[in-house]
Amino acid sequence: MRRVVVTGMGTVNPLGKSVNEFWENIAANKLGFSFIDQFDASDFDVKIVGAVKDFDSSKYIEKKEARRIDRFSQFAVVSSMDALEDAGSDLKDLDPYRVGVIIGCGIGGLELTENEHQKFLEKGPDRISVFYVPMMIGNMAAGTVAMQTGFKGANYSTVTACASSTHAIGEAFRKIKDGYLDACLCGGTESCITKFSLAGFNNMKALSRATELDRASTPFDADRQGFVLGEGCGMLLLEELEHAKARGAKIYAEIAGYGATCDAYHMTSPDPAGEAAAKAMELAYTEAGLKASDISYINAHGTSTELNDKYETAAIKIALGEHAKKVAINSTKSMIGHLLGAAGAVEAVATVLSVKNDFVHRTVGYKTPDPECDLDYCTEGNREMKVYAALSNSLGFGGHNATVCFKKYE
């Protein structure tokens, strides 16, 4: 059986523009939140977002070219090239058709769409940019990364709302495990902190209306108000084990299982029963050759919304049985907010580092227990603990559930 390992990672997110910076800030329990300054938000109840500040893509993208690449795709290029640099290889020794790029994206170039639509209304159809369509479409992150790297294998975008990037990682894992690829850059990217996006999510009552940064995102807390809209990207280089060993690659962890299911229940609400989400977790750890009792840690979807947190809790109880009370659970969204289509990938980076470093970060901001969220959410502080195997969950609008299982490389 072909085994798959993580040999490189890159990220751009509200807590850091590199994996090291992100991890240092995670360990310090810093918050990646800020008050909205991208536009005038005086008409909005929502005041806080998880923005990437001072982003600069010039290391990999020339200034002229950057004008033709949307922000979400630039995030993907920078994170992907950092992941290859981290892995210590450009993989040029491989057949380019054996290296893929699979990048999840929930929305794509929304800010560009808003700007071009305004231009359309004010100046007419002839003034729309000829680059509008190829810049805006969600698959262009994967396409742009391929152009940057020369990788010609399987290349596509998974679009399953907030589960997009976890599905991308899972699909890349399967491509390598089943022999179709030898390596794959995979993850997710998103950049949609805009007036239109904020209004849409806010009118759904999905967003936090907190006015204090340290109470903006409080997963599993009884007083949780909703999620903080964030942006960013996470990319992982997955590689077939023997190829990684042959080149002396450092190995962060093994990715050993993947589960994908659908609630088939509601447009936005998770299924209260939690059965399909639980099945995704069960499929992931079973494929990894593990039992429920082998799971040390779960990086939860943990959005800080009323329904997600209690229904995900119910799903974990079904998936792990009595062991659910013993497993450490946290939510990285307590520090970076919800990165939508990129959420699962950035959280996968955090999960992999937890496995490698035997460290589980605190769920920050938690104060008030919720009787319906009664598991161990690491609310008292960071933990240095043995992390043999971990699950990373993502649950998306439409009922999409995705779980990946990472374990220590042995």
**Are the C-beta atoms of 197 and 95 separated by less than 8 Å?**
no
Instruction: For tokens 């990472």, name the residue.
Output: 406
Q: Which residues pair with 156 in a beta bridge?
A: 102
Q: Among the options 301, 361, 373, 400, which is catalytic?
A: 301
Count H helices, E strands: the chain?
13, 14
Q: Sign of the C-alpha dihedral, residues 272, 284, 303, 309?
A: positive
**Are the C-beta atoms of 128 and 120 separated by less than 8 Å?**
yes
Q: Other CB atoms closer than 10 Å to residue 43's CB: what's the count?
A: 7
Q: Among the options 162, 192, 233, 378, which is catalytic?
A: 162
**Residue 233 catalytic?**
no
Nearest to 234 by CA among 155, 307, 341: 341
Q: Half-sphere exposure of 203 toward its Cβ, with a 13 Å CA cutoff?
A: 7
**Are the C-beta atoms of 329 and 219 separated by less than 8 Å?**
no
* Amino acid found at 384: E
* Amino acid found at 137: I
Per DSSP, the three-state class of 183 is strand
- Strand 297-299 versus strand 328-330 pairing type: parallel
Q: Among the options 167, 338, 361, 400, which is catalytic?
A: 338
**Residue 243 catalytic?**
no
Per DSSP, the three-state class of 352 is helix
**Residue 186 catalytic?**
no
Q: Which residues pair with 232 in a beta bridge?
A: 190
Length of the chain (residues): 410
Q: Which residues pair with 390 in a beta bridge?
A: 297, 406
Nearest to 104 by CA among 126, 78, 73, 82: 73
Which residues participate in catalysis according to the annotation? Answer: 162, 301, 338
